[in-house]
Chains A and B, each alone.
Chain A
């Protein structure tokens, strides 16, 4: 197959690729210069025209999100870089922060400029201590070279960037929970309305973008929206970082065109199943997506719409591969336990339902399942995260998408590997 020339990760194998000098030598910050010579509205239009969709998991069109910020509001505007990468199977933002921090910073400054923001935050997960130190240093360099601070490159535009470390909560990757955490409170997501673009951080208009999304911006500005749109499927184009992990020979981050066939990622890029094994199931988009069986995985492409049609999602493009040695009930329990641990506890279905799932699955893993457990698993997941019927739309039972994030994978395990779950049922049941 044809080799895709990396765009975001073009230089990650080179020495000192993270430094300012290196980035500048490769033409870095030229996109920013171009953006500053345009009007903010034109920058937004360009990004809209590129069809760039968010790379954090939700896949919301970036330009459209920016346009929700009321331009004539007299409140300060905030841009927040969501670097709280905590979705299991996802490890791409870490790579970008380690190896191409200036690309991300340039993207941040462009985004901030287009929405009229003068103080921007990087919300980075607390565990990424090393990445945080690197960013501190790189931001210092940017200030030194007049790319941050007052009157950036003589444009009259001011911007400060503040790094804000999280403290170990997956839910703080959710937009409104992130805002709460940034404001110094517990990470309980907010109900909408009001929407963050109108009332976000400290009740002011706020935009939250993912690290990878921001990293795409310099390239869109430099090479044009049309160029970006031409990479992969039109409705969700661009280069994409796919993380492949699990039972594969060569796990890692692979930059490819959007729309690459999933089987290519698994069998070509990631070197196939470890120990010569066979593929059994795979998460296409982080653990919040529904799993695909080996059969389904073989003919699907990594595209927002195609995966949606297959009743899964592209999400954060974190591919977790499971081979035939993996017990599906245990894998299901592992994921359910993750969600139970990370549930914020604010709303009823998620708080009670996630632990109910864990208790039930734990019992089943130890062979003590009962015959009604299978139906119960379907019901509980429906009750937390809504019916998985995309034509009717899910039924929104929780405040934030966490409900769907636990329901979809757990349900897909039971649905697609029912036999394994049936084997967990006790041979002799006590009849009441």
Chain B
């Protein structure tokens, strides 16, 4: 985790208030507040943990208990584009392993690693819930379904 002392502030306080107002108790707002912090910062920093802990009236350790459980929360900075390749059965039967190998070779990164230019992080993830259009790659928030290798290449070469 990053060095302590770096405070975190939400840029959109109205959103924060809105989130808190939707739940009968503050602790239930934990996940949406974490998503908001990660959307702003790209990952969950120590400062973000402390900020969310305060808003949800919990202790930072209790919050870490929660954050470290979920695979979508990152505790350190990631690449600009997270290439999340589904590796569960249906996708695996439809070429997911080839996609991983291809990305790995092309951008010289192993699963879990980020390319040296900070652009791509390769991640092997579990079932993304779109088995009918396997293989599926989720790039940041977007699903890219039924990709062939050439289509994937084109997609990645054209991102900013």
Direct A–B touching, Cβ under 8 Å: yes
Q: Which residues of A contact B (CB under 8 A)?
A: 76, 85-91, 93-94, 119, 125-130, 160, 162, 164-170, 181-187, 202, 243-247, 251-253, 283, 287, 318, 320, 322, 326, 331, 334-335, 338, 341-342, 344
B127 pairs with A169, CB closer than 8 A = no
A251 pairs with B35, CB closer than 8 A = no
- The residue of chain A having its C-beta at the shortest distance from the C-beta of B90 within the complex is A245
Q: Name 7 A/B residue pairs within 8 A (Cβ), A-sorted.
A: A90-B131, A126-B70, A181-B31, A184-B27, A246-B93, A246-B131, A334-B87
Please report the C-alpha to C-alpha distance between residue A232 and residue B129 in the assembled complex, in whole angstroms. 27
Q: For the complex, is B16 an interface residue (Cβ under 8 Å from A)?
A: no
Please report the C-alpha to C-alpha distance between residue A137 and residue B55 in the assembled complex, in whole angstroms. 27
Which residues of B sit under 8 angstroms from A252, Cβ to Cβ? 132
**Stretch touching chain A among B106-114, B136-144, B147-155:** B136-144
Q: Which 8 pairs from chain A and chain B are nearest by CB?
A: A184-B30, A168-B72, A167-B70, A245-B131, A168-B71, A186-B69, A129-B141, A184-B27
Q: Which has the most chain A C-beta neighbours within 10 Å: B22, B66, B129, B141?
A: B129
A184 pairs with B35, CB closer than 8 A = no
* Shortest distance from the beta carbon of B82 to any chain A beta carbon, whole Å: 11
A130 pairs with B131, CB closer than 8 A = no
A184 pairs with B58, CB closer than 8 A = yes
Please report the C-alpha to C-alpha distance between residue A283 and residue B92 in the assembled complex, in whole angstroms. 15
* Shortest distance from the beta carbon of A410 to any chain B beta carbon, whole Å: 13
Q: For the complex, is B50 an interface residue (Cβ under 8 Å from A)?
A: no
Binary contact readout B62-88 vs A (1 if CB under 8 angstroms, 0 otherwise): 100110011111000000000000011
Which residues of B sit under 8 angstroms from A87, Cβ to Cβ? 127
A166 pairs with B31, CB closer than 8 A = yes
A165 pairs with B132, CB closer than 8 A = no
B56 pairs with A184, CB closer than 8 A = yes
Please report the C-alpha to C-alpha distance between residue A85 and residue B88 in the assembled complex, in whole angstroms. 14
Which residues of B sit under 8 angstroms from A181, Cβ to Cβ? 31
Which residues of B sit under 8 angstroms from A167, Cβ to Cβ? 31, 34-35, 70-73
Please report the C-alpha to C-alpha distance between residue A90 and residue B88 in the assembled complex, in whole angstroms. 12
A185 pairs with B89, CB closer than 8 A = no
Please report the C-alpha to C-alpha distance between residue A338 and residue B124 in the assembled complex, in whole angstroms. 11
A125 pairs with B129, CB closer than 8 A = yes
B89 pairs with A162, CB closer than 8 A = no
B:19-67 near A, CB below 8 Å: 22-25, 27-32, 34-35, 56, 58, 62, 65-66
Besides A164-B31, A183-B28, 6 more A-B contacts (Cβ < 8 Å) are: A76-B24, A88-B88, A89-B131, A128-B129, A167-B34, A320-B90
| Residue among B24, B89, B142 making CB contact with A287, cutoff 8 Å | B89
* Shortest distance from the beta carbon of B97 to any chain A beta carbon, whole Å: 10
* Shortest distance from the beta carbon of A267 to any chain B beta carbon, whole Å: 17
Question: With A129-B142, A184-B66 known to touch, is A165 a contact of B35 (CB < 8 Å)?
Answer: yes
Question: With A243-B131, A243-B132 known to touch, is A89 a contact of B138 (CB < 8 Å)?
Answer: no
Please report the C-alpha to C-alpha distance between residue A184 and residue B29 in the assembled complex, in whole angstroms. 6
B66 pairs with A185, CB closer than 8 A = yes
* Shortest distance from the beta carbon of A377 to any chain B beta carbon, whole Å: 18
A202 pairs with B126, CB closer than 8 A = no
Which residues of A sit under 8 angstroms from B142, Cβ to Cβ? 129-130
Please report the C-alpha to C-alpha distance between residue A369 and residue B89 in the assembled complex, in whole angstroms. 22
Question: With A129-B141, A245-B134 known to touch, is A91 a contact of B129 (CB < 8 Å)?
Answer: yes
B90 pairs with A88, CB closer than 8 A = yes
* Shortest distance from the beta carbon of A161 to any chain B beta carbon, whole Å: 10
* Shortest distance from the beta carbon of A100 to any chain B beta carbon, whole Å: 16
A165 pairs with B32, CB closer than 8 A = yes
A186 pairs with B65, CB closer than 8 A = yes
Which residues of A sit under 8 angstroms from B27, Cβ to Cβ? 183-185
A88 pairs with B131, CB closer than 8 A = yes
Please report the C-alpha to C-alpha distance between residue A247 and residue B134 in the assembled complex, in whole angstroms. 10
Which residues of A sit under 8 angstroms from B132, Cβ to Cβ? 91, 243-245, 251-253
Please report the C-alpha to C-alpha distance between residue A320 and residue B93 in the assembled complex, in whole angstroms. 10
Please report the C-alpha to C-alpha distance between residue A335 and residue B92 in the assembled complex, in whole angstroms. 10
Please report the C-alpha to C-alpha distance between residue A95 and residue B25 in the assembled complex, in whole angstroms. 32
Question: With A130-B141, A186-B66, A334-B92 known to touch, is A86 a contact of B127 (CB < 8 Å)?
Answer: yes
Please report the C-alpha to C-alpha distance between residue A127 and residue B70 in the assembled complex, in whole angstroms. 12
Which residues of A sit under 8 angstroms from B69, Cβ to Cβ? 169, 186-187, 344
B56 pairs with A94, CB closer than 8 A = no
Please report the C-alpha to C-alpha distance between residue A326 and residue B92 in the assembled complex, in whole angstroms. 10
B89 pairs with A246, CB closer than 8 A = yes
Q: For the complex, is B116 an interface residue (Cβ under 8 Å from A)?
A: no
Which residues of A sit under 8 angstroms from B24, Cβ to Cβ? 76, 119, 202
| Residue among B23, B66, B88 making CB contact with A162, cutoff 8 Å | B23
- The residue of chain A having its C-beta at the shortest distance from the C-beta of B23 within the complex is A162
Q: Which has the most chain A C-beta neighbours within 10 Å: B87, B88, B138?
A: B88
* Shortest distance from the beta carbon of A324 to any chain B beta carbon, whole Å: 12
- The residue of chain A having its C-beta at the shortest distance from the C-beta of B84 within the complex is A127
Please report the C-alpha to C-alpha distance between residue A88 and residue B74 in the assembled complex, in whole angstroms. 23
| Residue among B31, B71, B129 making CB contact with A94, cutoff 8 Å | B129
Please report the C-alpha to C-alpha distance between residue A318 and residue B142 in the assembled complex, in whole angstroms. 23
